[in-house]
Structures are given as C-alpha cells and as structure tokens.
Structure 1
Amino acid sequence: MDQEQIQINEAAKWFFFSGGPGAPRYGDDPTKHAVDHDSEAFVREVLQNANDQGLPNGDPVEVTFRFVTLTGDEKEVFLDGLGWYDGLGERMRAVADTHNGHRYERVVKRVNDPEAELRLLVVEDRNTTGLTGSWNGDSNYAALVRDELYSSKQDDTAGGSYGLGKSVLWTFSGASTVVFNSHLTSKRQDDSPRLIARSKFPTHQLREDDTTYQGAGWLCKPIETDDGPRPESFWGEHASQLAEQLHVERPAVSGTSAMVVEFQDPTRDERPDVEDLAQEFVDASVKYFWPAIYRGDLEVTVETPEETLAADVESVPAIRPFVEAYEERTTEVQTLVNPGDVAGLDIPVNLPPRADGTETPDGSVRLSARLASPADDDSYLNNIALFRGAGMVVKYYDQSRVAYGDRNFFGVIAAGEARSEGIPSDSDLEIDRFLRFAEPPEHDEWESTENLREQYQRGFRMALDDMFGTLRDGLRHLISKGNSGDSLSDNVLNRFPIHGSGNPRSTTSPADPVFEIDSSSRFDGDAWVISGRIKTLPEQFDGWSADISLTGVGEDGSRYDDIPIDYVEIEQSGVTVSQDDGCVRLVADEDVDDLSFSGRSHSDEHADLVHGDVGATQLEILAELQTSEEDQA
C-alpha cells in the first residue's frame, strides 16, 4: 500500500451519532422485518430501485450483480480500507456481545479466521441518476444514505413509493454495512465519483466508553457544521482510490455501485455456492422484470469469479409463454382454439376522482392469454402476470379456478404505460399512477392501500374489485370452448362496454355504467361482518336484483371455498331478501334506487375460512337491472 493510499485511509473515519440520556434505543433495523428476505426478494427490490432511476435518454438501464470472494492478503487490504481496524471491528464486537448480536458474532469470527473467505456482492447500475444531492434536503443521496422508510421518487410511474426496497441491501449484509460509489449526472458530475459507506447497527456502547451510540454509522470525512458534526462523502481521486481498495470501482458513467459486505441470505442456514446464487439471480431477474427486459429498457448480468451470465427472457422456459402472450396482446382474436393461440380483451377501469377533486379519465388495461400446450413449462400455469409501465411483474395472479379440462393458459394484464405500443393515453397515465399507489410496500399486489386513500376519493376499492372481477369474466370468455367467432358472449357483453356492438338492448347503452356499488368485509371475533351500498344510475327501470356472495382469498390471491352468509339486513322497504346455499339474493322494485345493507357470515369454529385463517375475503355483488324490454346486467 503506497503512502497516498495510507493517507486516504487515515482520513476515512467511522462516524456515529451519539444519543444522550433518554434518547431512543434501537434493537435492530426495523426494515429487516418489513419484507420477505430471500434472494428472489433481494433481486426484485434492487432491480426495481435501479429501474426507477433510469435516465430519459432512450438507453436501457444496465445492472450487474458481481460476486467477489476475498481471502489472505486481499482480505486484509479490503478490511483496512473499510476501517475494520480503526473503529468498525470494535463496534461490531460490542454489538456481538448484546442479546441480539449473534449474526455479528459470526461475522467477527469469519473476519478473524485467516482461512475463511469474505463474500462481497457489488450491485452496479449504469444509465441512472446516481447519488445526487446533499445531506440536507430531499435527494437521492439523502434518501439512501441518511433517511429511513423514505423515497425520493417523484415520478408517478416509478415502481416504489415507500422507500422500503433499499433496506434489503443492509438486510443481506452479515456486517449490516454497505459501501456506495457513484458517478453523478448533476452539476457535480466533474467531481465524481462520490463514495461513502453506511452501517446500521443496534444502539451500542464501546467497552471503554460510556457514550451511547445510535445505530447508523458512516465511513466518511466527518465535518463540522452550524448544526454540529455530520458525515461527508469522499469525492474525486480520493474516492476512486478508496473504491479500488474496496472492490467497488466502476466505469466513469452515470449510476451507482452498492457493495454489500459479507453477503448472506438470511433465510438460509447453509452458505450457498456463488455459482448457485448467480443462477438464482438470473432466474429472479427474468421472472419479475421480463417486461422491461423484453422492451429493451433493462439489461441484467450476473458475474462470478468463474463466469458471466445474462438475464435473457429466452433463458427461463417458465416465462416464455407470458412473453408470447404479451407480444401478441394487440390481437383482435377473442377466442383460444388451439394450444399456443393468443387472444385478448380490453378490461375497462373506472377510476374515482383524485383527492383534490381532479376528475380522472376512464380507461382500460389489456388482458391477453395464451392457451397452454404440453411442451410448456408449467411452473406458472393458469397464472396472470400483472404489470404496468415500470416493467416489473407485481404478481403472478393464480386463476386456476377459471381453467377446466385441457383449457389451461398463461396470461398477462398489461396496465398503464405497458398497455399500448405507442404513446400512452391520458387514461393510461392515470391508471399507471393509480396502480402505483395500489401497491403495498412489498410491491407484490394491487389492493386497497393507505396511499390510495390519500390520493383518491371514495370508490378506489370498487375500481380495483371491478377490474379484477371483469378480468375473471373476460378470462372465462377467452378460454371457453363454446364461443363462436370473435364476439363476446351475451352474458359478459355488458361488462366490456368498449366491445359492445349492435343495437342497445334498453334505454341505457351497454357503454354506460348501470350501478354504483361499494362494499367491505372485516373479521370480527368468529365471523365476517359485511356491508355495502348499491345505487342505480339510470332514472327509469322496472326493478333490479342483486346476488351477494362471500369467498375466502389466500395471501397469494387464490380463491378458496365460499363462506356462507348467515343473514343480511335491509332498512328500506320494497326489497325482498332470500337465501340459497349461503348466498343472499335481493330483489328491489322500481321505487328503490339506493340501498344499503349489512350482514354477517355463518360462525363455525371448525371452519378455517370463517376464522380468518385465509387472511381476506372477497365480497361479490352481481346486480341486474330490469327494464321494460329486457334485463340489463
């Protein structure tokens, strides 16, 4: 190590904020318990963060996962650059002595064992914005290096809105330490690269120091400010030299490299081979980001000391049927006949106004399905891949209940900016925004969230329920053997108003909504409590009816057995209530245009569904309007 490198290492210090008497204590990083923590989840979250930071220049975001193993002298040089012998190791030993410090004790033993290797994982992204901004204020840099559970993403089509995904970097570090090296696209581009490291430890005390230190620490150049000391990044040549010593050097292009110290999968007891991990990373990249990869928006490679693997949509057989369904999603065919055929439908989406009163345009998402063949990999048979403009599959939505006989399928819902091949419409942009806020922190579902409640007026839950209900009806139509030609069958025509043809069947056009329906269910001790409201929209009608049923829904979105409804109460007159096999039927006369109901499911201590073990329910209301001519669904 030359004299200049020694000076740089001496300038690099570990800085921790201290807490005075009464300051809160941190047993561990709470975000470690917020998402699933297997290697698949790691790849998903890291790629989403990189994909969201892509530059608007038409070039793809490039991400490389690089595994590095260190032993002997290389290991010692790395540890010296990391400040292991100048503060970090002492702190980790102090944390290892605490009641929840077993994971750190294992790292300390591995470091001290001259025969043991250190495993590093570098995640390098290119054609992204880099760590722009300062410690103070709202910026990419502050969100990653300073903040917790905060996202600086401002784009409505970005994949994440919680700032939670970045936590996986520390979760998968046995040392709870990550090093960042970045080339910026901002006015400080000429000063790049920029380097800083951050650790997330529990609150701790050093053995010969009575000071209590907060959990987060930074390998940096500490500086004094009017607000007290704070960490400062390394820049330029100093950053470059330290990055080389820490194996986190990168090409001089915009983006960030994050190096996870002592990479581990916290869900595994055994330490997997690097080659096996590399293949898992490729499979996970394709599984969740094949839309972005297929469109040329994202390129992913995985490097080990022995080989380099590329994440190609053709390299994972289980994904190919979905790619084919997406390739041919604009087909006008609406019937699946032979194995390998693709058919598609537009699924209407009716959004409520935004919270500020701004009206939102109604639009659609595109459903396309491919009929399965015996040669297909059936890992995700009868699943629908849900994704929007970000190009990440939010979920593989199991619709096995729709399949029957040999009518198995693979399907996609291309929503928002992913729906069309051209410039997205205003409705596409709004649907993309809506569905972004419908994603929970794990980004693995489209559901009612607190974000939706803050961003949209009443009706957002109904918009999602209607979209998924129409999706199932459309899917049944596509795979049905009984359909002839390309027209939708009569019993589902009115749920697809943009496909209506011929003369209207009543004074209300099939393109117009007939009912406004809202509903909810919650578990209350030993049964499900249900409530809802049904409002007719046409001014003239001869009466209407509605069938109410309750179904258990698993955590993966799959439907279980129906949950019998014990009773439903109606306050309005002019409504007849009857029950049949656990379902309730309402029949209203022409004077009832707005009806509220409440009820309760059957209580049975031996039924897991009734006890809420399934986790959620789906309350379905199928309403039918009667006119002087014919029924209107």
Structure 2
Amino acid sequence: VDPTVTQPSRTRALRAFLDGTTVEQLTESGQVVATTVPLSLPVVGGGRGSAGQHHAVLLVTDAEDMDGKPNRVVAMRGNRMTVRDASVPGLSLSVNPFQAVLLAGEAAGPRAPYAAEAEVFLRAAEPPEHNKWGQTEELTLTYSPSAYRRIAALTRETNAAIKQLVARPKKKSKAGGGRLAPKLTVGTRTQRARLSAATLPVLDELDAQVLDDGAWQVTGEIRIPAGGHVWRLAPVAKFEVRSGPRPTIAWAELVGVENCEVVDDALRFAEKARSATFRGVTDPTTHAVRTSLSGLVVELRAAEGEVSS
C-alpha cells in the first residue's frame, strides 16, 4: 500500500516535518503548519507535581479527497503507527477541510523535551488493541489513578491548537456596514426531519475524571448532523470489560451544558444545533468494581439502537 496514494495529506505532513519544511501559518495550498502541544508528565509512583513537560508536535495541512473523512487528527508515538484517530469537535462551518497529525513521545523527534519519558507514559496508556490512549491498569499502577487526566488535557490542548491554526481571519466590516440583510424565507411550514442513521448524533469526545468519593465525572461532546436535533438520546455509563456484558452504572447527576437539556433521562437537543455538551456524575453505590482499576464506556442509547464512543 502506497501511503502517498491512500493518505496523501498525512504523508505530506510527515514528509514536511522530517524535511524541515513546515511553516508557522497556512497561506497557500499544500503547506504544512507545525506547532507544539504541551503534555505534563506525571511522577512515577503517584508523587505530586510534574515529572516534566513534553512538547508534542502538531502538524496540520489541507485535506484531499483520497484521505477519507476530513477534519480529523491522528495521534502516534515513536513507532509512528496510528494510535488514535478522531474528529475535531466544535469547528466553525467556514474552515477549509484539513488533516492533522500529532507526533508525541519519540515520534516528536530527538530535540523534543522529555521525549523518552513521554514515550514510556503513552505506551503505558495504550490497551492491547493499541487504538487509544487512556486509563489502563498499567498506567494506574505505574503512575496514579488520575494519571489519565494528563492525556485528556493533551487532547483538549490539541483540539484548541487545531482550531486556532485553521481559523479564517475575520474580515473588517466597511464603514456604514455591519447590518445583515433580512433572510429570505420560502414557505411557512417546517417539516420534521426523518429519523435515520444519517442524522444520528455521534459522541465525539469524552473527558472523565474520578472524584474523591469514587464517582466518575464525565463531560461528553456530541456532534449533531443536519436534522439530528430531533433525536432523543440517553447517555448510558458502563464499566469497560474485556469479555461478557458491560455492567451498567447509574447516574447520580445528568445535566445539559450546551445546546441540550435533560428530559426524562434523555438529551433533548436545541433546534438546528450542530454540537452539544452534557455532564454526568455516576452513582458510586452502583459501581460493580473499583473505579481506580477500571475503565469507563459511555454509550448514547436511542429508541432505534445505540451508538458508542
């Protein structure tokens, strides 16, 4: 398989990084912009403070048709194999399609500070499937039960940096301007969108932390396709297990944060919303296993099926 054919944009980004031809700002098609994203490393053994700050390298370039889905970021460490492939939530509708690559650990190059330490940390955060970075038993035992929060912070910093790099500069309005022309409306009836797989909202990002009482506090970001606001979805928390059914966890609190509200334990989205955020806190009395040594899965359950992340 030739990566220049199957993944031309990501291949171009890596080549520019290795050749030292990246730029600080995208001004022309085909350029690759590079910046750094901080990763605060935890102390081995659960000590307080930070063991050092690693600077992962973030590369962003224009997307091409052969890349597949646009506006995504892939993350990799020293072996330069994709560990995480995710969309970037909360993007403006005006951004040009892009692909982003996050090089962390030894993949960031020999000059990156604390590259070796970051490599060890991220390797401990990978499950046997090598398909994400998150809480694992090895990470908990080597560092602490809260070490995974450093990865959640890295994800937030990465998404924020991407949004800044791909944002289009705002044009200054001319003197006497600034008023919007009235929108033309055709017809007076609105047709309810049909419930279909194409309009099903998707759980895009999930940030979780363990509270002092052992409860999970999760914040989820949902991407809503056009017409998807008519769905009623219920977030369901479950423990992650390698085999057998996942034990369900009850919510002690479930609230809508942005563009949604909770009605009868389900999320009701704001009309025409393209993204929404909710927050939930689990009930520790319903935990089947210890929180510090377990993983968490949150599924969006609808009347016509489930979609999970």
**What is the CA-CA distance between 1:340 and the residue it aligns to?**
1.5
Give the drift of 1:381: 2.8
Return the alpha-carbon distance in structure 2 between the equivalents of residues 406 and 598 of structure 1: 31
1:550 maps to a residue whose letter is: G
**Could you say which residue in structure 2 is the equivalent of 1:613?**
306
Determine helix, strand or coil for the equivalent of 1:344.
Answer: strand
Task: List per-residue Cα deviations over 1:42-88 (Å, max 9, x = no partner).
Answer: xxxxxxxxxxxxxxxxxxxxxxxxxxxxxxxxxxxxxxxxxxxxxxx
Q: CA deviation at 1:395?
A: 3.4
2:91 — aligned with what?
402
Secondary structure (helix, strand or coil) at the match of 2:120 reads helix
Which residue number corresponds to residue 322 of structure 1?
A: 10
For 2:140 and 2:282, how far apart are their aligned partners in 1? 25
Task: Please point out which of 71, 93, 115 is paired with 1:428.
Answer: 115
Match of 2:142 in 1: 455
Aligned to 2:60: 369
Deviations 1:122-173 (A, max 9, x none): xxxxxxxxxxxxxxxxxxxxxxxxxxxxxxxxxxxxxxxxxxxxxxxxxxxx
In structure 1, the residue matched to 2:287 is none
Q: Please list every run of at least 4 consecutive aligned residues from structure 1 whose deviation after the TM superposition is greater than 6 angstroms.
A: 560-567, 577-580
Rate the CA distance shift 1:583–1:416 in 2: closer, same or farther, 3 A. Answer: farther
Distance 1:423 1:366, change over 3 A: closer
Aligned 8 A contact 2:42 2:51 in 1: yes
Amino acid at match of 2:300: L
In structure 2, C-alpha distance between the alignment counterparts of 1:562 and 1:530, rounded to whole Å? 22
Amino acid at match of 1:391: R
- CA deviations over 1:409-430 (Å, ceiling 9, x no partner): 111111111112x4554x1111
- Counterpart of 2:175 in structure 1 is none
SS at match of 1:609: strand
1:386 and 2:75 matched: yes
Aligned letter for 2:7? I
Return the offset for 1:327: 2.7
Compared CA separation, residues 455 and 379, structure 1 to 2 (3 A): same
* Deviation at residue 320 of structure 1 after TM alignment: 2.3
- Write out aligned runs for 1:436-447 (5 A): 436-447=123-134
Amino acid of the structure 2 residue aligned with 1:462 = R
Select the residue among 551, 568, 588 that pairs with 2:221: 551
Q: Distance in 1 between matches of 2:79 and 2:168?
A: 35
Q: Summarize the Cα distance change of 1:443–1:531 in structure 2 as closer, same or farther, 3 Å threshold.
A: closer
Shift of 1:582: 4.0
Per the alignment, residue 83 of structure 1 pairs with: none
- Whether contact under 8 Å (1:383, 1:400) holds in the other structure is no
578 and 327 in structure 1: CA distance in 2 versus 1, 3 angstrom threshold: closer
Equivalent pair of 1:551/1:562 in contact (CA under 8 Å): no
2:29 paired with 1:342: no
SS class of match (1:349): strand
Q: CA deviation at 1:362?
A: 1.5
Conservation of the 8 A alpha-carbon contact between 2:126 and 2:133: yes
Q: 1:518 to 1:446 in 2, by over 3 A?
A: closer
- Aligned equivalents of 1:326, 1:414: Cα separation in 2: 9
1:385 and 1:563 map into 2 onto residues whose CA distance is: 28
What does 1:274-289 align with in structure 2 at a 5 Å threshold? 283=1
Q: 1:71 maps to what in 2?
A: none
Question: Structure 1 residues 403 and 419 mapped into 2: Cα distance closer, same or farther (>3 Å)?
Answer: farther
CA contact (8 A) 2:134 2:151 kept: yes
Which residues of 2 match residues 127-526 of structure 1 at below 5 A? Answer: 283=1, 312-314=2-4, 317-329=5-17, 333-355=23-45, 357=47, 360-373=51-64, 376-399=65-88, 402=91, 404-405=93-94, 407-420=96-109, 422-423=110-111, 425=113, 427-482=114-169, 519-520=209-210
CA positional deviation for 1:613: 3.3
**SS of residue in 2 equivalent to 1:410:** strand
Partner Cα distance (2:256, 2:86) in 1: 33
Residues 37-116 of structure 1 mapped to structure 2, 5 A cutoff:
none
- Matched letter for residue 432 of structure 1: E
Flag the 1:313–1:360 CA change in 2: closer, same or farther, 3 A: same
Contact 1:384–1:413 (CA under 8 A) maintained in structure 2: yes
Partner of 2:30, secondary structure, is coil
| Residues 406, 609 of structure 1: alpha-carbon distance in 2 compared, 3 angstrom cutoff | same
1:360–1:415 distance in 2 versus 1, CA, 3 Å: same
Q: What one-letter code is carried by the residue in structure 2 that aligns with 1:435?
A: L
Q: How far apart, in 2, do the equivalents of 1:448 and 1:614 lie? A: 21
State the Cα distance separating 1:579 from its structure 2 match: 6.6
How many residues were matched structurally?
215
Contact residue 16 and residue 22 of structure 2 kept, 8 A: no
The superposition leaves residues 199-233 of structure 1 with CA deviations (integer Å, 9 ceiling, x where unpaired) of xxxxxxxxxxxxxxxxxxxxxxxxxxxxxxxxxxx
Query: Identity over the aligned pairs, expressed in percent?
Result: 22
Query: C-alpha displacement at 1:477, in angstroms?
Result: 0.9
Contact 2:208–2:219 (8 Å) recurs in 1: no
- Alpha-carbon separation, structure 2, partners of 1:323 and 1:347: 20
Q: Is the 8 Å Cα contact of residues 335 and 479 (structure 1) preserved in structure 2?
A: no
Deviation of the 1:400 alpha carbon = 7.1
Label 1:483 to 1:456 Cα distance change in 2 as closer, same or farther (>3 A). farther
Q: Deviations over 1:73-132 (max 9, x none)?
A: xxxxxxxxxxxxxxxxxxxxxxxxxxxxxxxxxxxxxxxxxxxxxxxxxxxxxxxxxxxx
Q: Which amino acid aligns with 1:368?
A: L
SS in 1 for 2:300: coil
The 2-side partners of 1:580 and 1:384 are apart by: 24
SS at match of 1:384: strand
Shift of 1:356: 6.5
The offset of 1:378, in angstroms, is 3.2
Return closer, same or farther for 1:482/1:471 CA change in 2, 3 Å cut-off: same
Q: Secondary structure in 1 aligned to 2:6?
A: helix
Structure (1 or 2) with the larger CA radius of gyration: 1
Offset at 1:384? 2.0
